[in-house]
Homo-oligomer: A and B are copies of this chain.
Amino acid sequence: MVATYKDIRRLTGLSLATISKYYNGGNVLGPNRELIEEAAAGLDYQVNNVARGLRSRRSMTIGVVLDQLNSTFNTTIVSRVEERLREAGYGTIICDARQDAHSQAEVVRFLIGKMVDGIVVVPVGDDTSFLKPARHRDVPVVAIDRLMPGTDSVVIDNRAAIASAVQLLTDSGHTTIGLLAGPDTTYTMRERRAGFRDAVRARTGLLPRVELLTPEEVSIEGGYAGLRRLIHLSAPPTAVVCANYGLTLGASIAQNELGSDLRPALVGFDNLELARLIRPRPTLVTQPIDKLALEAAELLLQRLNGEGPDEPVTIILDTTLMVGHESTYQLKPRVRMQR
């Protein structure tokens, strides 16, 4: 059977209150401390955090809700958030919403039922109603990567990120640039798409043709299919911007299967590790993922301490453009596709 204060009382003769104080940093006499430590070691005693949480109304755990687990972006977020929160004495419960709004809502209820003290979320969509159980209980929430109205958020400057990619390409002489991005149903994609449109107009004086930015499925397959679609246009782009890591990966796979004459220049998103697998080395818009995570953790800790302004806080971070192998970005005479 698992040991409790009562067992320690039996072995030490002390009262439950004294034992409780020992485990909560109160003042306990030296000899009594030793008595408790001895008994606890013998019993393999460990504090029951469930009971503690019930009584103290603080579970000292926070929930991390991810739109999906299977992405470098998210695993980095988790790793950093968990690290920082652990320093502050909090445990972390990680939950995967698998790109499904319904299970995202379910997961939030699960966490609320587990009495988490706060939530960090990389949300699935734009709908914030899934956070209602948290709001109603005054459980603070910090969103990462997506701006959520009424919620503290840490995001990147999506428009500037895309603009930096477009600028690099126009500076290299490209005038026909395609975009691989998802539909306008999420904040991130809306911003990146708008950023693309604005940047192209600012640099070329013209809006990009519609067929150059048709929405794709946000996935590896979507990137793959999207790049092939762009290439087969009657006036194909000489360069393509990918608005997300999955799309970049898919586009790179498609690139890889093409003859080099057909390859448009590519600017992708994230994941430097994989960049080394691809030749020529791609140019990437790199997000400050560690910093996103740390800012979110810090913000949440503030809220847990009852600090910070009354209104929701929004933190916006800048991205970096990592320029890959130069040759990719010099405009070369191109062979027009036959069909």
Question: A7 CB to closest chain B CB, in angstroms?
Answer: 13
In the bound complex, CA of A133 to CA of B43 (Å): 11
Q: Evaluate contact between B75 and A98: CB separation under 8 angstroms.
A: no
Question: A222 CB to closest chain B CB, in angstroms?
Answer: 14
Interface residues as binary, A127-162 with B (CB distance below 8 Å gives 1, 0 otherwise): 000001100110000000000000000000000000
The listed residue with most B CB atoms (<10 A of its CB), out of A59, A137, A252, is A137
Interface check A220, CB cutoff 8 A: yes
Q: Evaluate contact between B61 and A70: CB separation under 8 angstroms.
A: no
Interface residues as binary, A77-102 with B (CB distance below 8 Å gives 1, 0 otherwise): 01100100000000111111010000
The answer, among B46, B94, B132, for a CB contact under 8 Å with A109, is B46
Interface check A274, CB cutoff 8 A: yes
The answer, among B59, B273, B276, B277, for a CB contact under 8 Å with A50, is B59
- B-side contacts of A59, CB under 8 Å: 50
Q: How many copies does the complex hold?
A: 2
The listed residue with most B CB atoms (<10 A of its CB), out of A76, A132, A276, is A276
In the bound complex, CA of A137 to CA of B1 (Å): 7
- B-side contacts of A2, CB under 8 Å: 136-137
Interface check A241, CB cutoff 8 A: no
Among the listed stretches A112-120, A186-194, A304-312, which one makes contact with chain B, having 4 or more residues with CB under 8 Å of it? A112-120
Question: A338 CB to closest chain B CB, in angstroms?
Answer: 24
**Given known A79-B96, A115-B50, contact A91–B110 (CB-CB < 8 A):** yes
Interface check A279, CB cutoff 8 A: yes
CB under 8 Å from chain B, chain A span 43-71: 44, 46-51, 53-54, 59, 61, 69-70
- B-side contacts of A220, CB under 8 Å: 273
- B-side contacts of A133, CB under 8 Å: 44, 46
- B-side contacts of A92, CB under 8 Å: 95
The answer, among B115, B256, B273, for a CB contact under 8 Å with A279, is B256
A–B pairs, 30, beta carbons within 8 Å: A2-B136, A2-B137, A44-B132, A44-B136, A46-B109, A46-B112, A46-B133, A47-B113, A48-B54, A48-B113, A49-B114, A50-B50, A50-B53, A50-B113, A50-B114, A50-B115, A51-B54, A54-B54, A61-B114, A69-B94, A92-B95, A93-B93, A94-B95, A220-B273, A249-B277, A253-B276, A253-B277, A256-B276, A256-B277, A256-B279
Known: A48-B115, A253-B277. 7 other contacts (CB 8 A): A46-B112, A46-B133, A49-B114, A50-B113, A69-B94, A70-B72, A277-B278
